[in-house]
A and B are shown apart, each in its own frame.
Chain A
Amino acid sequence: MKQTISGVVLFCILLIPPVRTYMESIMILHMLVQLPLLILAGWLAGKVVIQKFSRFFAKYNENGVPGITLVIIITMYWMLPRAMDEALTFYHVELFKFLGLPFLVGIPLRDSWHKLKAVGKSFVYLNYLPMFGLMAWLYIDTPIQICNNYLEVQQKVLGWGFLIITAFMVLYIIQFVFTDHSEQES
């Protein structure tokens, strides 16, 4: 219950107009803070939802693959520069962002992640790693302004943000493969 309340509170904070406007005024905050926090809100609140609709999730997301596919499709969409632009320009895209990320990403992510096998989890992780790297290159190297709402310099900052995330993901893999997992094996 504590988690659900935290999720709802977080979601409400993100809805507060000054918070929303400030986060959306800076490209890196929009992409790498607001969007992940919306997902986190859904993930936190998702515990109760999943319990309440356990039969639905058991039927339609039996092995976690449908849920994680939905997660990947929606998060990929939100990595596109024009998606952020449109969120600021069209209210229905903004609405989709605030509803889609918690409900169609956060909740399915929570339900799917523990259902996925190790290979599936590795696949998802290794899929995001190069995607983030590619986004880093795109945002750092693009010589023109690709969003109407953000300056070129903001794009570059976002690109470096993506690069730092990629670097941490690589470091995580390195620590994972070099630390002992023999106790975890059955």
Chain B
Amino acid sequence: MSAVISEKKSRNNLVVSYLTVGGIIILAMMVFGVLMLLAQGGSLNLSPAAFYQFLTIHGTGMVGAAALAAAGVMWYFLSKYVELSKKIAQVNLALFLIGVVMVIIGVFSFEYASAWTFLYPLPAISANAWGVTGALLYLFGMLILGIGFLLFYLDTGRAIIKKYGSLAKGLGWDVISGKKAEKDAPSSTIVASTMVTIVNITALTAGAIVLIMNIINVINPAFTFDPLLAKNLTFAFGHIFANSIIYMAVIAVYEILSKYTNRPWKANKPFLIAWTMSTAFTLVIYTHHMLMDSVMPKWMLIMGQVLSYANGLPVLVITAYGALMIVYKSGIKWDMGSGLIFLSMFGWVVGVVPAIVDATIVVNHVMHNTKWVPGHFHMYMALGACAMIFGFMYYLAKEDSNVEEQIFDKIAFLGYTLGILGLSGSFLVSGALSTPRRWATHFPEWMAPANFGAAAGVLTALSLTMFVVHFIRYLSNRNKVEMSPESKKLA
């Protein structure tokens, strides 16, 4: 019995490390976001060079930290079904930290500021804004970070194949084809993890290729490559990797709501088909980032539009509908964990709407370079993916310790929701006003929404601080409480 408890503790320790690092970085990145909005709103005097450094660290850090925390969520639940390597997960965390340190030094000590997109040939041609060292620190940092994640997903893929036979079976293709009964379908956690494994190994490989190409180009500019190919690889990496965060975090929705309601979240045929569709489409829809590149083959752009509609919707609809159904008349006891998880459904549904609008070619030509796009991904990521992660943090604290939720947590819940809605709303309004995105300086007509967004950002950051405080209380309490081998009953 003690071996079971010690194994569970050790597994939780690792997941807690992922969440702690992720949570702290997300909070720090929020501060940079607020500072950028204040600068755009004319309330803070920030040099353009500093603004673009903040932009670079904010974009890179947010996606990296959210991906790390979401990977922790996936690892926590997936390890209940398959045998994952703890060493690989530890190596991933170590490489992540090394990569982050390199990126921070590159950005702040050597003034590297290409934004997360590091679009070729910008790292090598900066008009003296930064030098070779800064570019190499950033690019190598990203590469090391990517290698860690690649090892992580290779391990999840290995473990799934070992237990289920193949990734096809992990996606439940044998159930879809009728070879196996629905009752024997893999769990929703396995299906989502298989999907993420497939898409992220592809994304990270594309990312590694373009990073290495950029590194070689920075070291020796005589080596060149096709800029359009580079942009395709960059967005194949960036889009898929960022998108996968919600697909990892959604595992928390399936597992936690199921536990709170004491109802199983069954993977039926429509569920499996939806996840297979998302697996295929997630890989190819990155072209919706390139709808303004007139040199792209037309069929790829049309595919980008059509499949963008078809990509997120099946899983979103089936998950949101499933969440409503599982909660309906279940007698669920609402708390911070279940509340944030349920809120994430709202964030996901609402946040995806501006994206689908922007994925429409005629709209994209007008809106894509405006703040409309940050409006989409702030709502989608913060109110969707991050709400799932924070919900999981509360769930873990409840399951693993005796820490009680307080009134401050409930206030923070409200503050976080309103803050993100205000922030995303300010971006969407800015977009509607044709305010360009990624610009350090704004015309006076564009400043009001930026200042409003900054205020909303402060509210969000304060609320997140409360979430983090709760998690720290859990960290200090968890080792004092005797752990039961069985999970607590939450409903």
Residues of A participating in the B interface, judged by any CB pair closer than 8 Å: 130, 133-134, 137, 141, 143, 177-183, 185
Of the listed stretches B22-30, B138-146, B165-173, B332-340, name the one at the interface; the rest are far from the partner chain: B165-173
The interface residues of chain B, by DSSP majority, are classed as helix
Q: Could you tell me if B168 and A180 are in contact, using CB atoms closer than 8 angstroms?
A: yes
Give the residues in chain B near A141, CB-CB below 8 Å: 223-225
Q: Could you tell me if B166 and A178 are in contact, using CB atoms closer than 8 angstroms?
A: yes
With A133-B209, A141-B224 known to touch, is A180 a contact of B169 (CB < 8 Å)? yes
Q: Tell me if B365 is interfacial: C-beta within 8 Å of chain A.
A: no
Count A-B contacts at CB 8 Å: 34
Q: Could you tell me if A179 and B168 are in contact, using CB atoms closer than 8 angstroms?
A: yes
Q: Tell me if B161 is interfacial: C-beta within 8 Å of chain A.
A: yes
Give the residues in chain A near B165, CB-CB below 8 Å: 180-183, 185
Give the residues in chain A near B168, CB-CB below 8 Å: 178-180
Q: Could you tell me if B224 and A178 are in contact, using CB atoms closer than 8 angstroms?
A: no
Q: Could you tell me if A182 and B164 are in contact, using CB atoms closer than 8 angstroms?
A: yes
With A133-B209, A182-B169 known to touch, is A177 a contact of B223 (CB < 8 Å)? no
Q: Tell me if B11 is interfacial: C-beta within 8 Å of chain A.
A: no
Q: Could you tell me if B161 and A181 are in contact, using CB atoms closer than 8 angstroms?
A: yes
Given A137-B213, A137-B225, A180-B165, 17 additional A-B pairs, CB 8 A: A130-B208, A130-B209, A133-B209, A134-B212, A143-B222, A143-B224, A177-B157, A177-B161, A177-B167, A178-B166, A179-B166, A180-B166, A180-B168, A181-B161, A181-B166, A182-B165, A183-B165
Bound-state Cα–Cα, A56 to B213, Å: 43
Bound-state Cα–Cα, A137 to B214, Å: 13
Q: Tell me if B162 is interfacial: C-beta within 8 Å of chain A.
A: yes
Chain A residue with Cβ nearest B223: A141
Give the residues in chain A near B162, CB-CB below 8 Å: 185
Bound-state Cα–Cα, A181 to B209, Å: 29
Give the residues in chain B near A133, CB-CB below 8 Å: 209
Residues of B participating in the A interface, judged by any CB pair closer than 8 Å: 157, 161-162, 164-169, 208-209, 212-213, 222-225
Bound-state Cα–Cα, A137 to B226, Å: 11
Chain A residue with Cβ nearest B160: A177
Q: Across the A-B interface, give the 6 residue pairs with the lowest CB-CB distance, nearest first.
A: A182-B165, A180-B165, A178-B168, A177-B167, A180-B166, A181-B165
Bound-state Cα–Cα, A143 to B225, Å: 11
Bound-state Cα–Cα, A27 to B399, Å: 65
Give the residues in chain B near A130, CB-CB below 8 Å: 208-209
Give the residues in chain B near A177, CB-CB below 8 Å: 157, 161, 166-167
Give the residues in chain A near B169, CB-CB below 8 Å: 180, 182
Bound-state Cα–Cα, A77 to B213, Å: 21
B233 to chain A, nearest CB (A): 12
6 contacts between A and B (CB under 8 A): A141-B223, A141-B225, A178-B167, A179-B166, A182-B166, A185-B165
Chain B residue with Cβ nearest A126: B154
Give the residues in chain A near B222, CB-CB below 8 Å: 143
Chain B residue with Cβ nearest A179: B166
Bound-state Cα–Cα, A183 to B209, Å: 35
A105 to chain B, nearest CB (A): 26
Bound-state Cα–Cα, A178 to B201, Å: 14
A22 to chain B, nearest CB (A): 32
Give the residues in chain B near A182, CB-CB below 8 Å: 164-166, 169
A146 to chain B, nearest CB (A): 12
Give the residues in chain B near A179, CB-CB below 8 Å: 166, 168
Of residues B161, B208, B213, which shows the largest number of chain A Cβ atoms within 10 Å of its Cβ?
B161
Chain B residue with Cβ nearest A185: B162
Bound-state Cα–Cα, A134 to B209, Å: 9
Bound-state Cα–Cα, A182 to B82, Å: 14
Chain A residue with Cβ nearest B213: A137
Bound-state Cα–Cα, A137 to B213, Å: 9
Bound-state Cα–Cα, A155 to B161, Å: 40
Bound-state Cα–Cα, A130 to B212, Å: 11
Of residues B166, B209, B212, which shows the largest number of chain A Cβ atoms within 10 Å of its Cβ?
B166
A166 to chain B, nearest CB (A): 11
Of residues A134, A137, A185, which shows the largest number of chain B Cβ atoms within 10 Å of its Cβ?
A137
